[in-house]
Structure 1
Amino acid sequence: MLRHAAKPSTRRIAVGARALSSNSLLKQRLIELMPEKQAALKKLKTEHGAKIVDKVTIDQLIGGARSIKCMLWETSQLDAMEGIRFRGLTIPELQEKLPTHSGVGSVTKEEPIPEGMLWLLLTGEVPTKEQADSVTAELHSRAKLPAHVESMIRSFPEGMHPMTQLSSAILALQTESVFAQKYAEGTNKTLYWDHVYEDMMNLLARMPEICALIFRCTYYPEGGRAGAKMNQYDASLDYAANFCNMLGEKFAGDKGFHELMRLYITIHTDHEGGNASAHTCHLVGSTLPDPYLSLLLGLQATLKAEGKPVTPESITEFAWNTLNSGKVIPGYGHAVLRKTDPRYTSQREFALKHFPEDELFKVVNTVYQVMPGVLTEHGKTKNPYPNVDSHSGVLLMHYGFDKYDYYTVLFGLGRGFGVLAQLFWDRALGLPLERPKSVTSEWINQFIEKNPSGLK
């Protein structure tokens, strides 16, 4: 008995470890400390938030550097009241001036092709139809996937989230990085831009097939992922149409869906440098990894009514019930904008043009009419107007694209254009490693003691 007590079994040790974890002294101490620390931070913000520390307020210092102008971002600018401009152009101006698949928007009234948007983001110039078509041809010439990437996607386990698949595929594709190879060889920093350009174009060229393959393997795995079928890559089509073609027959011949994808990719390419996906790519890129490792993607969501008849009254009731339960209204509000998101407006106008009687569009349109008033009356929302996420899913659903888990992959397909275009200029301009200065709460309190009124 003593021998057994002195040498407990592995199973007993494991059980004991779990018990210790559930009664962790460290965790208990943290639970005790949190209310004190939370109250101290709240008091600091309430009493001293407006005071200036080295040209920024304490509120800005604590609150995620909100609105502090401290980053160079060439490809787009976001103004709280004016909205997003891509190289100085609003979304309606893009729709008028950029090339479409058959001409120019001012003539064809079609949506811009992303290839023209890439030219604009990189050069600051509105391309001709010939210039945009040259980008299409260049991307097609670079599009062939390495064999190991396709086989890896086909062998992913069932149930893996599409965004996890996309992230893994990009990492696998990183074996093709020109920048990584040249950097390891000791390339001169004046040539970094060239290597970034090669990686950028190769990555953007291969993204449609990667994304389409993930779609087919995840949702249409006839006989298993390894046997999932996909239409052949079609270099006679533009970037967005070829992507639609590879998604499958349901979308290959739907010209309306092709137009939607051209608009969707175009308006999601960029949203200035301060948003999470753009800033992360810029920050990581400043440490000089290759573009494959720098590209990180954001998320999006949409609002769907809860099965009640859609009327201004029912939407108002839904809104107040949601707010009174302590939740937020999905798709409304924005970190910077103080007006309706122009990306939302462009999608709303697309729906009005192509399917004004769509039932789900009527839901969102009714929400658009009601929600700003509710949120304004509620009084705790700085921006009561809808953002892009409030409408994206409606357009996709109209064309039968109901794979919600995949929507973030579509976002990534578009956002890559903007962040990689800026990454090119980061290296071409020789921008340095991003390294902001941080301080502790103790430092702030000591500063306030020495400067009760803050700095002037």
Structure 2
Amino acid sequence: MAFFRGLTAVSRLRSRMDLKSQLRELIPEQQDRLKKLKSEHGKVQLGNITVDMVLGGMRGIIGMLWETSLVDPEEGIRFRGLSIPECRKVLPTAVEGGEPLPEGLLWLLLTGKVPTKDQVDALSKELLARSTVPAHVYKVIDALPVTAHPMTQFTAGIMALQVESEFQKAYGNGLPKSKLWEPTYEDCLNLIARLPPVASYVYRRIFKDGKSIEADDSLDYAANLSHMLGFDDPRMLELMRLHVTIHADHEGGNISSHTGHLVGSALSDPYLSFASSVNGLAGPLHGLANQEALLWLKSIIQETGSDVTTDQLKDYVWKTLKSGKVVHGFGHGVLRRTDPRYLCQREFALKYLPEDPLFQLLSKLYEVVPPILTELGKVKNPWPNVDAHSGLLLNHFGLSETRYHTVLFGVSRSMGVGSQLIWDRALGLPLERPKSVTMEWLENYCKNKAA
């Protein structure tokens, strides 16, 4: 009997450590919470929508539920209520005093709870066990010209994974709507697990003569991504842990997150939903900005030399702006202060690469660009954002192929989009269908309002 009691205790312990079991406990409570919110406060007005908001990309319109993170204009991103500095303090790490493990952030995004190191280690092993990529996925990628953009090849790989969708099978078999979150969970965990081998295959195919590298069973999620890319410097492993963590989510209004939510609201499976996210991420005004920021830094050095003066920098910034271009890496649609993601990357750079010429140049630009953008008068936030630093750091450790950098952003963003999609299904969120109007409608409305 003692033996069986011991097995039961172990089973209960595993249940508490298992991520899906925790979700099964949390979901009914959150479903009731949403019903209460609708019934008690559904008619509460959230402010007035202006014509500027309609014409300006819906900026500032509150119109989406996104549980996993929230961006405060002054404080920056909070993952389930925790700021980036707080996450770096409380989330488990691979090395003492190191950067947080992305698996820990995934747990936090899904449950709202800070996981233990044992829970994170168990999740790392689960993701590794799910990470086998079917052979047909690589064949689909290989069918593309090797010159195809890395994001094109990455998206093709995600779409090829879609034939494995558990959600598609379950929906086709008539699974009740209340249980659709479960196959969504399976798809999202499988997708997150398989993105590093797909992403690294794309990199090695384009830039390393197609010589791929197998995963290392002893490594965590982000470290394995770095290893399969071909970078095993311990500092690069730490950078990849930081990179994946801070790029994972940024509330629901950005293009990649919003697109995934929009497509998912049609009950498209997670692979279709996330492929749409990646396509949005590939735009130069979103994820591709990290590439543009690094290229802009390099162009400064090419034109002025490494010993650039403050006056030369000012002239170059004004030259960029007057040519009709933007200064990539500065400004943000929501934030009104320096992006905390920039600050934690700057802290990393000061620790590991203080003498890097590009980092020193960016440090000078931190003092030069904001006053110029403020003087210009068109930018509400002149401060640097996450894109200013991310490409620079990858470049320092040898991942200098700027065309590829956004793929790593995509791997990271899967955790935020996937976590929210699971909760979209669990809460039964409806099809997204905002109302659009014509310019004539707006003109007539404004005339009637004035009258």
- Aligning the two structures, in what range does the TM-score lie when normalised by the shorter sequence? 0.7 to 0.9
Offset, 1:53: 13
Query: What residue identity is the alignment partner of 1:235?
Result: D
Gap change, CA 1:448 and 1:377, over 3 Å in 2: closer
What is the rounded CA distance, in whole Å, between the counterparts of 2:220 and 2:324 in structure 1? 46
Question: Comparing 254-263 with 315-324, which one deviates more in the overlay?
Answer: 315-324
SS at match of 2:82: coil
What is the rounded CA distance, in whole Å, between the counterparts of 2:419 and 2:175 in structure 1? 21
Partner of 1:362: 360
Query: What residue identity is the alignment partner of 1:56?
Result: I
Offset, 1:214: 0.7
Specify which of 49, 72, 85 is matched with residue 92 of structure 1. Answer: 85
Partner of 1:283: 262
Partner of 1:261: 240
Q: How many residues align?
A: 388
Query: What residue identity is the alignment partner of 1:98?
Result: L
Please list, as runs of the form range in 1=range in 2, the aligned pairs for 1:58-137 lying within 5 A after superposition. Answer: 58-102=51-95, 108-137=96-125
What is the rounded CA distance, in whole Å, between the counterparts of 1:183 and 1:176 in structure 2? 13
Offset, 1:326: 2.7
Cα pair 2:301 2:308 within 8 Å, conserved: no
Q: Percent identity?
A: 53
Partner of 2:211: 229
Cα pair 1:115 1:132 within 8 Å, conserved: yes
Query: What residue identity is the alignment partner of 2:92?
Result: P
Offset, 1:134: 1.2
After superposition, what is the alpha-carbon deviation per residue over 1:182-229, rounded to whole angstroms, capped at 9, x for unaligned?
Answer: 1112211111100100000100111110011111111111xxxxxx22
Query: What residue identity is the alignment partner of 2:243?
Result: Y
SS at match of 1:85: strand
SS at match of 2:70: strand
Specify which of 219, 223, 241 is matched with residue 241 of structure 1. Answer: 223
Partner of 2:14: none
Alignment RMSD: 1.6
SS at match of 1:451: helix
Specify which of 369, 372, 376 is matched with residue 371 of structure 1. Answer: 369
Query: What residue identity is the alignment partner of 2:367?
Result: Q
Please list, as runs of the form range in 1=range in 2, the aligned pairs for 1:182-201 lying within 5 A after superposition. Answer: 182-201=170-189
Partner of 2:153: 165
What is the rounded CA distance, in whole Å, between the counterparts of 1:367 and 1:219 in structure 2? 31
What is the rounded CA distance, in whole Å, between the counterparts of 1:270 and 1:70 in structure 2? 18
SS at match of 1:84: strand
After superposition, what is the alpha-carbon deviation per residue over 1:153-208, rounded to whole angstroms, capped at 9, x for unaligned?
Answer: 33432201110001001101100000011111221111110010000010011111
Partner of 2:49: 56
Is residue 2:400 matched to residue 1:402?
yes
Offset, 1:285: 0.3
After superposition, what is the alpha-carbon deviation per residue over 1:50-98, rounded to whole angstroms, capped at 9, x for unaligned?
Answer: xx99931111122121111111100110111111111111111111110
Query: What residue identity is the alignment partner of 2:334?
Result: V
What is the rounded CA distance, in whole Å, between the counterparts of 2:212 and 2:54 in structure 1? 50
Partner of 1:43: none
Is residue 2:324 matched to residue 1:336?
no
What is the rounded CA distance, in whole Å, between the counterparts of 1:407 and 1:355 in structure 2? 19
What is the rounded CA distance, in whole Å, between the counterparts of 1:120 and 1:112 in structure 2? 12
**Which consecutive unaligned segments of at least 5 residues does structure 2 have?**
1-44, 282-286
Specify which of 422, 425, 442 is matched with residue 423 of structure 2. Answer: 425
Offset, 1:406: 0.4
Gap change, CA 1:67 and 1:53, over 3 Å in 2: closer
After superposition, what is the alpha-carbon deviation per residue over 1:287-327, rounded to whole angstroms, capped at 9, x for unaligned?
Answer: 00100000022123223124213222221111111222332
After superposition, what is the alpha-carbon deviation per residue over 1:339-379, rounded to whole angstroms, capped at 9, x for unaligned?
Answer: 11111111111000111111110011111111111211222
Larger Cα Rg: Structure 1 or Structure 2? 1
Query: What residue identity is the alignment partner of 1:95?
Result: R
Query: What residue identity is the alignment partner of 2:110?
Result: L
Question: Comparing 434-443 with 197-206, which one deviates more in the overlay?
Answer: 434-443
Specify which of 439, 442, 448 is matched with residue 440 of structure 2. Answer: 442
What is the rounded CA distance, in whole Å, between the counterparts of 1:185 and 1:332 in structure 2? 49
Partner of 1:270: 249
Moved over 6 A (4+): none
TM-score if structure 1 supplies the norm length? 0.83
TM-score if structure 2 supplies the norm length? 0.84
Cα pair 1:310 1:366 within 8 Å, conserved: no
Offset, 1:246: 1.0
Is residue 2:311 matched to residue 1:323?
no
Specify which of 198, 202, 209 is matched with residue 210 of structure 1. Answer: 198
Cα pair 2:46 2:62 within 8 Å, conserved: no
